[in-house]
Amino acid sequence: MTITASKPGTSPAIPSRGPGVLNKAIAVLVMLVGASLVVITLVSNLFAVGPAFENLIVDFRPALTQSSIDTARADIAGLSAVQQEFTTKLAPALSQQLQMTPTQFNDFVAQKFPAVAAGMGALPVAVPTFNGLINTLDKQRPLFASADAIPTKNLPATTVPWALFGAGFLVFLIGLLMLRSPKAAGAAAIVVGLLLLVAPVALSLPAKAADADQLNANLKPVYTQALVTNATGALQTIGAMGNEMQTTMLPALATQLKMTPQQLQTFLASNFPATAQALQTMPASMQRFNGLVKVFDKNLANYNTLKPVGLARLILVLMVAGGLVAGLGALTVLKGRRI
């Protein structure tokens, strides 16, 4: 048996495990970052939020143009003018023509034309409600335009969850590769990490996401099932009023006043222009309001799906993850050069 003595002042060589352990630790950290992005995508329900957000944006887009807002304001002004003119001018004039007191005329309308009475009673509440809703939508237009560009004007919001999920999966694979080829994987981590950090800034996603979150917060007090239900009921009442006024009340009044329908129309146009105008425009106005309420109703489930999600927070998490991955990749590359 041969024993080899070591030289005086030296000790047997022991393999250094430091770099290997550090590489493994970095690789595990990168894999955890990637897995976290995947988990966040799934836990935040982004594969449902993305389509919900896109469908809501597409459906509301026509209603939030300047032209649509101006038309809605004109429709509301027309309804307000009818209610005011009917109460203060038309009803007193007709009661005088029919030789009734104002109270008798109101009772006459309630008995013979209940839809007209109900509609006139609903307008003082419905008009401010719709006016407030349109004002709210008008104020949200800049925020809506910003949110509409997530992630870009040409890419739909449905690409966001896939991008986040894909980024997480790619980062996880890079971390896995670091276990076998630290230098190459470290370089890939730098590139991908910087891309995740810089791309959101280049696309203005932090600002767009903040605007989307603010839009979400501003709509929370008004965008409820109660809004949809009440608005639908009010429109049905007002629509029935217009129909009954046009088809039943005015012909009956023309008969009692011994006027032809044409004479009555001329009488109204000369003396009560708001009412005469509304009788012509109310069907189209009701159709537009019903269309808007249907958009709210159709997208209420979409809004409830995306309401809990904070987009700005997700973008921040993505950017922090990118910076962390790039930093870990750089550490791996620098460490490899020193060995």
Q: What is the pLDDT of residues 277-296, one digit of tens each?
A: 888 899 999 999 999 999 99
- Across the range 174-199, mean pLDDT stands at 95
- Please give the model's pTM, rounded to 2 decimal places: 0.84
Give the C-alpha distances (Å, rounded to integers) separating 268 from 89, 105, 157. Answer: 11, 18, 52
Predicted local confidence at residue 8, as pLDDT: 52
> What sign does the CA torsion over 262, 266, 269, 272 have?
negative
Q: What is the pLDDT of residues 9-58, one digit of tens each?
A: 554 544 444 458 888 999 999 999 999 999 999 999 999 999 999 999 99
Predicted local confidence at residue 20, as pLDDT: 80
Query: What's the 3-state SS for 173-238?
Result: HHHHHHCCCHHHHHHHHHHHHHHHHHHHHHCCHHHHHHHHHHHHHHHCCCCCHHHHHHHHHHHHHH
Distance from C-alpha of 319 to C-alpha of 311, rounded to nearest angstrom: 13
- Across the range 212-226, mean pLDDT stands at 94
Q: Is residue 159 pLDDT above 50, yes or no?
A: yes
Give the C-alpha distances (Å, rounded to integers) separating 163 from 41, 124, 196, 199, 228. Answer: 10, 49, 10, 12, 34
Q: What is the pLDDT of residues 78-124, one digit of tens each?
A: 999 999 999 999 889 888 888 899 899 999 999 999 999 999 999 99
